[in-house]
Structure 1
Amino acid sequence: MFATAAPPQAHADTVAYLVNVTVRPGYGFAGPDDALAYGNGICHKLAQGRTYGEVMADVKSDFRTSDEFHASYLIGQAADNLCPGSINALRTSAGGYRPPAPAPANGE
């Protein structure tokens, strides 16, 4: 008989998440608890089956930004470090994502 190894389990890394999102400027979390709660909220949305585009829209609205990278970075950090089990579903739903067209400038 050959023993088969169990697949590696995905574990949360809250320290990595906190370092990556609190050192990076632009999020303005009140503190680590606030940052962690926000990241866990992203994980909860992903666990509910929300798509990458839906979560992107939420993050951009919450931080009042149209910066795709800024929002995507936060989502990626949450998924990678807090809920790595959601990464495959997140990648699948991001496959067809297209950023919304920019709003026209005033006077156009």
Structure 2
Amino acid sequence: MAGMAGISAHNAPPAQADVVAYLVNVHVRPGYNFPNGDVAIAYGHSVCDRVAAKMPYAQLVDQLKADFHTSDYYQAGYLINQAVNELCPAQIWQLRESAAGYTG
């Protein structure tokens, strides 16, 4: 039975993007002030692109803090997390590797 569990884990389908969840978690949340859903989605995809390009996590956080005129790490980190988890879940591992050891 244990062997079967290992086999099924390897055969699991890849995670799919969930644009609606991203919009609910980011567009309606105070602090980002996206003018509409399309802009919010485009920004989230830009975060995914930066993660895929292996931008260091600290640099990504700094860029988001500058974009939203905040010094709040949580606000930047939340948006990064939502973008990757909901728009580009295949990049979760890359984000985790980049964020390892971050102490911001």
Question: Smaller-chain TM-score range?
Answer: 0.7 to 0.9
Equivalent pairs counted in the alignment come to 97
Residue 17 (str. 1) matches residue 41 (str. 2): no
Residue 58 (str. 1) matches residue 55 (str. 2): no
Residue 71 (str. 1) matches residue 92 (str. 2): no
- Give the alignment of 1:37-52 within 5 angstroms: 37-52=42-57
Structure 1 position 96, deviation (Å): 1.2
Name the TM-score, length of structure 1 as normaliser: 0.84
Runs of 4+ in 1 over 6 A off after TM superposition: none
* Stretches of structure 2 lacking an aligned partner (at least 5 in a row): none
Name the TM-score, length of structure 2 as normaliser: 0.87
Q: Secondary structure at the match of 1:26?
A: coil
Whether the 8 Å CA contact 2:52–2:94 is kept in 1: the answer is no
* Correspondence for 1:106: none
One-letter amino acid of the structure 2 residue matched with residue 46 of structure 1: V
For 1:79 and 1:31, how far apart are their aligned partners in 2? 19
Residue 35 (str. 1) matches residue 74 (str. 2): no
* Stretches of structure 1 lacking an aligned partner (at least 5 in a row): 100-108
For 1:54 and 1:68, how far apart are their aligned partners in 2? 12
Higher helix share: 2
